[in-house]
Amino acid sequence: MKYKPLLFATIIAFSQCTSDDSNDQYKKWTNYGGTKDAARYSSLDQITTENVNQLQVAWEYHTGDASENSQIQCQPIVVDSILYATSPKLDLIALHVATGKEIWRFNPFEVLGGENSWAGTNRGVTYFQEGTIRRILFTAGNFLMSVDALTGKPDLSFGDKGKVDLQRGLSENENDEFLLVSNTPGIIYQDKIIMGMRVSEGLDAAPGYVRAYNIKTGKQEWVFHTIPKKGEFGYDTWDEQYIDKIGGANNWSGVSLDEERGIVYVPTGSATYDFWGGFRKGDNLFANSLIALNANTGERIWHYQIVHHDVWDRDIPSTPNLVTINKDGKKIDAVAQITKHGYVFVFDRVTGEPVFPIEEKVIVKTEMDGDENSVTQPVPSLPEPIMRQFIGEKDLLSLTPELAAETKEMIKGVEYGDMWLAPSEKRPFILFPGFDGGGEWGGAAVDPESGIMYVNSSEMPWLIEMIPNEAAGLKKGEISGKSIYANNCANCHGADRKGNTSAFPTLLGLNQKYSEEEVHKILRNGRGGMPAFRHLPQVERDALVNFLLEKTVKGEKKELSGGKEKLISPYLMNGYRRFLTKEGYPGINPPWGTLNALDLNTGKILWKTVLGEFPELTAKGIPQTGREGYGGPVVTKGGVVFIGATEDEMFRAFDKKTGKVLWETKLPAGGHATPAVYEWKGKQYVVIACGGGKSDKSGDSFVAFALP
């Protein structure tokens, strides 16, 4: 921890500052998403469509701890004079809002032990105030921590000396360990923080229960079983033989809160294994659902399942937006949920009734041996989709004759077309919409005055190939390094270890780059966006390291003793692979990324514009193509939509009425995070994390912009 001389002055400013507009929640940015309704809207209007082109850098803060493939996905929050955020290595930082000067910095691993253990991305923090108590709650790996907001010191009365292990309570065996991190912050309701988490996407995954903890003590207050227990609603939508061994159905994208009604809205991801569901026959409630829970008790009020029996990894990817719309002259308090596959679902916030009709549409019949896919999937009549959802031959990349010829070769033997084509052991196929959207974790922004949603969408094709799982042929309890790699690493790095872009680097030749000790350390602690694998038993980590370093070990197959029996999928997905040309262009015609304005009152798209570019293509006279994007937009009363997100490392401002680009600037690294908007002493600021680390270089800074 570091403490700066600026602290005393900041405490005075913090405690004395009041606002004449204290009743206007949208003038503040004290929550992930700005406010608890996740509007990502600011009612500040000093920056307008007329003067936004005058924005200048107000301050820049460097965390100093970027590393290979590290990222900063954090959207800061602002409480009076202090901005709170996290660094690539998960340090919690407090900065002065006007200067970016560091007030204090807290390294969670001084408390947790280890060297940046349980690494992974973090998208924000949570603020709590009651009387003189002010706390920042945030997660580092599988720990929820409470820190004094003014000093950066751990709150030793919270949990076990300032920390709560989120692994506890997920299994009847308290010694069970899982791959578990919580990369999106929780939300405060009264004296509780409501939390989700990220889990493994394999059959070793923890069940993705949603839990509430007492903010002062760290004690668990309630739990909602997203994979139901026997006797609970939804249990009959699973295979009873295996339900107790299935994981996932977790809330990794965060929650939204109707504080007045005491309702928390929880989107969930898919159940495991993501791409073969033979052990979970049925619709699988409450996976891939939007769930309304009583925020005080955790009891279900209503739910809607957006994808049945998911085998496409179509997690519900972002916090839902709470908004009041005007439909046919009637005001409706609604909740709007974007999806990876380009649909936006809108429900009455209280009853769960769809605002626009939703059809259960019969889908194309494709499935793998031993699996049983759902016959139908929900398709909303409105709102209009934010992206195309079908690719035919005319959609294959043809910007130049050379690219057309290359794509024609790439597509040979690959099936494509319908968005509901499912994984098959018989052939590879194009998943479109893709793994990362459509909409993604950056979320949508909604203007509460107009009911218009602003959301960026990626139009990236991905290639799915299913291969036999070697581990399925092993004897009970037997392991091998290759099988452990297949079940834990192949989804990202491919069965051939060749990787896929710099986000999933090649693991070939690892023995020429790292020692055995260094590989063990990376597995224990994680690195960049890769979480730690310390939940694997030591015997499994040893076998995995030998395989990665291509070491020949006598009697490689070993008996695993003392561990619980694991389900083994007969098939594995052979790596997350974008369908790209050798130059790195998506194998379909543009647009590859868009920004959309969607009127939630009518369900109609008002405008659509490309977001991002490949400068070398633009220089050749090819119209801007758009690019895949991570991070989302914010919208302001001043008429401006701000967004980074793209790998061209630009930060842009758009006219919210027309979609016209009003201003853009080059960032130090990609802004793969959603910005935050705040005011200090009459000046409006816009700040964004510049962490890069997707297919672009990694960065370590937060940059704030303001008018001269």
Please provide the DSSP assignment of 17-39 as one string.
Answer: ---TTTT-GGG-B-BTTBSTT--
Give me the helix-helix angle, 538-548 and 481-488, nearest 10°.
Answer: 90
Is 488 within the bounds of a domain? yes
Is 358 within the bounds of a domain? no
The answer on pLDDT for 583 being more than 70 is yes
The residues that bridge with 400 in the sheet, in sequence order, are none
The answer on pLDDT for 635 being more than 90 is yes
* pLDDT for the residue 486: 76
More confident residue, 187 or 516: 187
**What is the per-residue pLDDT across 138-165, written as a single tens digit (0 to 9) for each?**
999 899 999 999 999 999 999 999 999 9
In 253-288, the DSSP E strands lie at 256-258, 263-267
The answer on pLDDT for 219 being more than 70 is yes
Indicate yes or no: pTM above 0.85. Answer: yes
Alpha helices in 489-579 (DSSP H): 490-493, 516-525, 538-548
CATH number for 481: 1.10.760.10
Q: Are strands 634-636 and 41-42 parallel, antiparallel or unpaired?
A: parallel
The answer on pLDDT for 304 being more than 80 is yes
* pLDDT for the residue 541: 84
Residue 524 confidence class, pLDDT cut points 50, 70, 90: confident
More confident residue, 546 or 654: 654
Instruction: Check if the beta carbon of residue 288 is closer than 8 Å to that of residue 241.
Output: no
Q: What is the largest CA-CA distance in the chain?
A: 75
Is 370 within the bounds of a domain? no
Q: Average per-residue pLDDT in the chain? A: 91
Burial-class residue 520 by CB neighbours within 10 Å (0-12, 13-18, 19+). middle
- How many whole angstroms separate alpha carbon 222 and alpha carbon 216? 15
* pLDDT for the residue 525: 73
Instruction: Check if the beta carbon of residue 654 is closer than 8 Å to that of residue 609.
Output: yes
The answer on pLDDT for 119 being more than 60 is no
* pLDDT for the residue 502: 60
The answer on pLDDT for 1 being more than 50 is no
**What is the per-residue pLDDT across 451-509, written as a single tens digit (0 to 9) for each?**
999 999 999 999 999 999 988 877 766 778 877 887 778 778 877 888 766 667 888 88
* pLDDT for the residue 553: 60
Q: What is the mean pLDDT of residues 47-51?
A: 98
CB crowding 448-475: b at 16 or more within 10 Å, else e? bebbbbbbbbbbbbbbbbbbebbbeeee
Q: Which of 95-99, 470-474, 513-517 has the lowest mean pLDDT?
A: 470-474
HEC string of 622-638 equals CCCCCCCECCCCEEECC
Is 495 within the bounds of a domain? yes
Residue 23 confidence class, pLDDT cut points 50, 70, 90: low
The answer on pLDDT for 348 being more than 90 is yes
* pLDDT for the residue 615: 96
Give the CA distances from residue 256 to residues 189, 263, 320, in Å, rounded to whole numbers and listed in that order: 11, 9, 6
**What is the per-residue pLDDT across 410-423, written as a single tens digit (0 to 9) for each?**
999 999 999 999 99
Q: What percent of the chain has pLDDT over 90?
A: 76
* pLDDT for the residue 115: 56
* pLDDT for the residue 356: 98
Q: What is the mean pLDDT of residues 572-586?
A: 95
Question: Structural domain of residue 540, as residue ranges?
Answer: 470-568
- How many whole angstroms separate alpha carbon 47 and alpha carbon 52? 6
The answer on pLDDT for 6 being more than 80 is no
Q: What is the mean pLDDT of residues 543-547?
A: 83
Q: How many CB atoms lie within 10 A of CB 276?
A: 25
Residue 550 confidence class, pLDDT cut points 50, 70, 90: confident
Q: Are strands 429-431 and 478-479 parallel, antiparallel or unpaired?
A: unpaired
Give the CA distances from residue 83 to residues 3, 38, 224, 693, in Å, rounded to whole numbers and listed in that order: 15, 18, 32, 23
* pLDDT for the residue 512: 85
Is 185 within the bounds of a domain? no
Terminal-to-terminal C-alpha distance of the chain: 34
Residue 17 confidence class, pLDDT cut points 50, 70, 90: very low
- How many whole angstroms separate alpha carbon 543 and alpha carbon 549? 10
**What is the per-residue pLDDT across 246-277, written as a single tens digit (0 to 9) for each?**
999 999 999 999 999 999 999 999 999 999 99
Domain total of the chain: 1
* pLDDT for the residue 526: 73
More confident residue, 116 or 652: 652
- How many whole angstroms separate alpha carbon 502 and alpha carbon 492? 11
User: Quick one: which of 683, 595, 690, 665 has its CA closest to 635?
Assistant: 595
Element (H, E) at 7: helix 6-16
* pLDDT for the residue 13: 40
**Residue type (1 letter), 494:** G
**What is the per-residue pLDDT across 389-413, written as a single tens digit (0 to 9) for each?**
999 999 999 999 999 999 999 999 9
* pLDDT for the residue 566: 75
Is 266 within the bounds of a domain? no
- How many whole angstroms separate alpha carbon 591 and alpha carbon 484? 39
- How many whole angstroms separate alpha carbon 663 and alpha carbon 667? 13
Burial-class residue 547 by CB neighbours within 10 Å (0-12, 13-18, 19+). buried
* pLDDT for the residue 11: 40
**Residue type (1 letter), 510:** L
Alpha helices in 440-552 (DSSP H): 481-488, 490-493, 516-525, 538-548
The contacts found for 660-666 with CB under 8 angstroms, 24 or more apart, are: 660/609, 661/609, 662/49, 662/52, 662/53, 663/52, 663/53, 663/55, 665/55, 665/705
Is 400 within the bounds of a domain? no
* pLDDT for the residue 681: 97
In 115-245, the DSSP E strands lie at 126-130, 133-140, 143-148, 163-165, 180-181, 187-189, 192-195, 198-199, 210-214, 220-224
Is 312 within the bounds of a domain? no
